[in-house]
Chain A
Amino acid sequence: MTMTAMTPAPGLKMPPEGARLFAAADPSQATHLATYGIIPDVTPAQLLEQVRMSGLTGRGGAGFPTARKLEAVTSGSKGPAVVVANGAEGEPASRKDAELLRRAPHLVIDGIEVAARITGAQEAYAYVRAEVVPDLRQALAERRPTVKITVVAATDTFVSGQETAVVSRLNEGPALPRFSRHRIFQRGIGDRATLVQNVETLAHLGLIARYGGVWFASAGTPESTGTFLTTVHPVTEPLTTAPTVWEAAHGLSLRQLISPAAGRPVEELQAVLIGGYHGTWVPLPAALDAPLSRAGLEQYGADLGAGVLVPLASTACGLELTASIVAYLARQSAQQCGPCQFGLPELAQNFTALATGRVGRGGVEAVRQSAGLVENRGACKHPDGTTRLVRSALRVFEKDVTLHQYGRCLARIGEPYGGAR
């Protein structure tokens, strides 16, 4: 394999060992350049070839191959394309995009410039959580970007980061998912071909443009290349206590990632929620040594999604936690599609009834039925993401589901419901 894109350019530093995205000690441009050097001046075709070789996939949750998305935008473009850096991070359990923008804003900007070079875009948007807008503005003020980058504060709702919602918002519309007769890569912002890419994906792109695809794939596993950012929650009160964001190589085991924050032997955990509120429950300790990679998580029907990990203690009730998440997700429906608008509240109600031991046998069936009523029936992934979580809970907490139907709970095995609350 020739490495034309790797021809050393003046000022290019050697790739850092270990942490990649988080290698710089502070977010300033000076430290950024001292850590990574400058991006070599190579052609768009050479850049795209390196992205292809890297095996990089989208880090926003869907995991789509980045090279294919870049190609789709490039070939679907009649006029100049538009690049969107998506850092909306509407998922409340995720912190990694905000953390990245705080610690390494220049890598994200590099990625925007590289994506623009590949797609021929002259204009870009950074759609990020309001709290990190100042960090990004500060970084932009330190350099002269090669494309016009407009920073827009994202709306603070769960579905605001869905691609069609981002495009709608940047088209001066509401931050709501849209049904579209066209694909965004053909017609997005201002009806132009649009590349919507998660900010972490772009940051990796900024490094691939420097060190090449082979370097990128030297970390991780053969099918899940590179490093990824993960938001790891502590075991106690996972929904309220501050999580930690780590950069990890794909293939690391669950044990390695959740141990530091667990505060107890990880063998005492009963499950971990992988991927966030639209994610999948995975049983512990069975999966403790599962490698965090596509292949490693496949047998559990899970994937890393946007990298959220929420471990659950054996003394907690997984159904109760799931019920509160489903109730939240039902409230976050954008109320545009009937099945989602009416079906999610019903699903939440049925699940809560099950989790609080208020239904007898048949409680699970009611949950399954209302899940079936929303699946595949919305303009965005919200209904399907919610049922994915629900179905994994029924699977992983199967024993508890049975007990709850008899008014008992594994987490409080001695107490009948009613007495305890």
Chain B
Amino acid sequence: MTRPLIVDWTACEGRGLCADLLPEVLTQDRWGYPQNRHPGPILVPDELEGPARQAVRMCPRLALRLESA
């Protein structure tokens, strides 16, 4: 099972904390904004739900939201 991770692009400032906390799913683009490692929507598998929730909590801009599947 996976859950979509939604980025509020208008809030994100691209410092990449989320990519550090969730490296299996996210990397950073050239400008520092979180980039999905795979094409399409950002999906978090169940086993990474913990780190994903941490990223949501720690994002300084409150720009992340983890949706239920």
Contacts and interface: CB of A to CB of B under 8 A. Distances in A.
Interface of A: 177-179, 181, 336-340, 342-343, 372-373, 376-379
B10 A179 contact: yes
Contacts of B36: 376
A78 B41 CA distance: 31
Nearest to A181: B65
Contacts of A378: 9
Contacts of A340: 9
Interface string B42-69: 0000000000000000000000010000
Contact of A339 (B29, B39, B41): B29
Contacts, number: 41
A376 B33 contact: no
Contacts of A337: 9-10, 12
Nearest to A342: B31
A338 B33 contact: yes
A339 B10 contact: no
A421 B54 CA distance: 56
Contacts of A181: 65
Question: Considering residues A178, A340, A376, which has the most beta carbons from chain B within 10 angstroms of its beta carbon?
Answer: A376
Nearest to B14: A338
Contacts of B29: 339, 373
B65 A377 contact: no
Nearest to B7: A377
Q: Which range contains the number of B residues in contact with the other chain?
A: 10 to 19
B14 to A, nearest CB: 5
Given A342-B31, A377-B33, A336 B10 contact: yes
Contacts of A342: 31
Nearest to A180: B8
A377 B10 contact: no
A181 B40 CA distance: 20
A270 B7 CA distance: 40
Nearest to A378: B9
A338 B9 contact: yes
Given A181-B65, A338-B14, A377 B9 contact: yes
B31 A339 contact: yes
Contacts of A379: 8-10
A170 B14 CA distance: 30
Contacts of B40: 376
Nearest to B42: A376
A337 B65 CA distance: 16
Given A373-B30, A378-B9, 17 more contacts: A177-B10, A178-B10, A179-B8, A179-B10, A336-B9, A336-B10, A337-B12, A338-B13, A338-B31, A339-B31, A339-B33, A342-B31, A343-B31, A372-B39, A373-B29, A373-B35, A379-B8
Contact of A179 (B9, B33, B39): B9
Contacts of B14: 338
Contacts of A343: 31
A373 to B, nearest CB: 6
B47 to A, nearest CB: 24
B31 A179 contact: no
Nearest to A373: B29
Interface centre among A177, A372, A379, by most chain B C-beta atoms within 10 angstroms, is A379
B30 to A, nearest CB: 8
B53 to A, nearest CB: 17
Contacts of A376: 36, 40-41
A134 B36 CA distance: 48
A62 B65 CA distance: 25
28 contacts: A178-B10, A179-B8, A179-B9, A179-B10, A181-B65, A336-B10, A337-B12, A338-B9, A338-B13, A338-B14, A338-B31, A339-B29, A339-B33, A340-B9, A342-B31, A343-B31, A373-B30, A373-B35, A376-B36, A376-B41, A377-B7, A377-B9, A377-B33, A377-B35, A378-B9, A379-B8, A379-B9, A379-B10
